[in-house]
Chains A and B, each alone.
Chain A
């Protein structure tokens, strides 16, 4: 007889558990299918066309490379990881549509994706409705607590807690806050202002430019007028390039008035040219120049797979290591009940030796313990790492809002 008592019990228990938790029944069918074919389907949802295609393509590549590595090493519990790649074309509506296809149509057990917060917000209803799991690699503004997302990028406390005091100590207390006009810069600046207040610092200007803005002459004349010690920049995309070029053209000196950025990576520097970035600072958990055996391996493999001149950055690194964390979670589950909620629970507390150092998914809030670093941009387009955290830093997505705390059950209000 093919069906013995133990297997039968296990099967019914799994179904019982699934119905109790109210998952759509699809998942029971799906896990069976996935293993029958010796395949684990995962979605890869990064734009290959449209406005954010350049950076998102690097995320797509890092993800595919990690999947290849896992498959080359024998897959997960003998099953192959099969990526279903979609191109959401930098458009939130297309993101939502493709997420539906991956979750409902292809029955992926997890999806790796998104760069912008707008696209993450657009796919969230899909993942919450179908109780699936989204792995999001980008640093972001925090203040989100979805049980259907694993966040592997930095949140404000991880990027700023050491950075702002360091800037105050080395350059002074007068900050000018400049950002692109959307939620991420505003939240980062909320955090920055709290830190500055504690340190007795002062904000001499706060300004938001439209996304894609490229004319900074009025902003730069305000720099000259207010003479800040630090220009704290959360400008994103093409605007970063324009800001750096016009800063230099205006004859400002990074030694006296450096730009301190949370968003300028090797990619932006490659676009503007190293001489325009040199002397400015960025805080991030990962830089391409970081000296660790894991990072050397990562950079080498990335360039071998995708081309010699390719750069890695602080978004593509999490895009890479989160796939390995996914693998460990699925491994831990063994062969039974491979459902997104089960993967999520197995992912909590997983540790992985990433290129930036040992990272861990925080079981408290599904964000990730990371290793913040401060880098100074060099003329060769790389960062010189001048400071790094002595220990991993716990992610606190609601750091600036003491009344609220993210828990595995969702957001909770702390009782006073």
Chain B
């Protein structure tokens, strides 16, 4: 019954983590700090999204920031349309469009007058973009490092398009000068408890729903694909469809994180979907533990937190990047499964080898396969 005990322990761990992030505002009465922590939590969600596709399905997406950035722009567009432009007064075009001599609101901006549409688009647009990429990549059985290259290239392309289409996107400066979001009578000011709770609750929901997902049958199949793709094909599963599904799901979650990020940062910028942040997500995931949702989230929080406090400390002003680099190397060398594996070590558990877990997930699938065949035979 150790499997059961493990599952319960894990649930308790997740619950403790969520409780910890939810009580923070009770102890911190400082808008600036709450804002900073909310930012870390948003990164946590983003990292968790990558863990779903990379840690659980073996799809290394170096373009994870695409979804994040698109979500961020969707929210920024909605907020921008509700900002009264100082240049033209109420009812005028957003300021950067005036600067670029745009005469009328572009058609794709129009529906963003509605918050409901914007929030739906913040998840749907990243998912659709991911679907299109996935539709080309997965059925062609592209895998491994090639997926990484393609997603990275897509990221660069979308980033360039956004910078280039300055009249519609604000170009290099991004979309700035935004109003605060008001929904259901709550004002999501960047420095408020409300925004922090929004981020914390979202992260908690993602953790539990994510946990349920990875333990569902689909989740198991995905893990089997990660461990032995060919074998799962031979079972008759449409591996590409499963891969594309988790790829889209991950992008949609990243999109939601992007929307939160706009609320926390009060602007959207093409740097939100640039290469540096996209690679950072991979690092957070690796440092925390990519095959654990809470590990990935924790990785993001720890890395960005340490980064923030190191670079805030005058003594490390010149060396903080060097120190961060050193820490990454140490963790990757000595804790290949990330910081989360420290908990297993502390509990005195021996890590099962990767081969063993691989075998286990495939065996699980085989078992369900054979039972299916048996029932079909009956």
Contacts and interface: CB of A to CB of B under 8 A. Distances in A.
Interface of A: 48-49, 84-87, 89, 91-93, 96-98, 100-101, 104-105, 116-118, 121-122, 124-126, 129, 143, 145, 181-183, 186-187, 210-211, 404, 410-411, 413
A118 B173 contact: yes
Given A101-B312, A122-B176, A183-B173, 14 more contacts: A49-B321, A96-B265, A97-B36, A97-B265, A97-B308, A100-B36, A101-B36, A104-B31, A118-B173, A121-B174, A121-B177, A125-B267, A183-B166, A411-B86
A121 B267 contact: yes
B269 interface: yes
Contact of A143 (B32, B99, B320): B99
B39 to A, nearest CB: 7
A105 to B, nearest CB: 6
Given A118-B172, A186-B100, A404 B87 contact: yes
Contacts of A117: 172-173
B320 A87 contact: yes
Contacts, number: 103
Nearest to B266: A125
A86 B172 contact: no
A404 B172 CA distance: 25
A93 to B, nearest CB: 6
Nearest to A211: B172
B317 A182 contact: no
B35 interface: yes
Interface residues of B, number: 41
Nearest to A410: B86
Nearest to A122: B267
B163 A181 contact: yes
A97 B173 contact: no
B176 A183 contact: no
B271 interface: yes
A48 B318 contact: yes
A187 B100 CA distance: 9
Closest 6 CB pairs of A and B: A104-B32, A182-B172, A121-B176, A125-B266, A118-B173, A92-B269
Nearest to B311: A87
A92 B33 CA distance: 19
A84 B312 CA distance: 9
Given A92-B269, A104-B31, A210-B160, A87 B172 contact: no
A84 B314 CA distance: 8
A312 B4 CA distance: 68
Interface in B6-39: 30-33, 35-36, 39
A63 to B, nearest CB: 14
A30 to B, nearest CB: 14
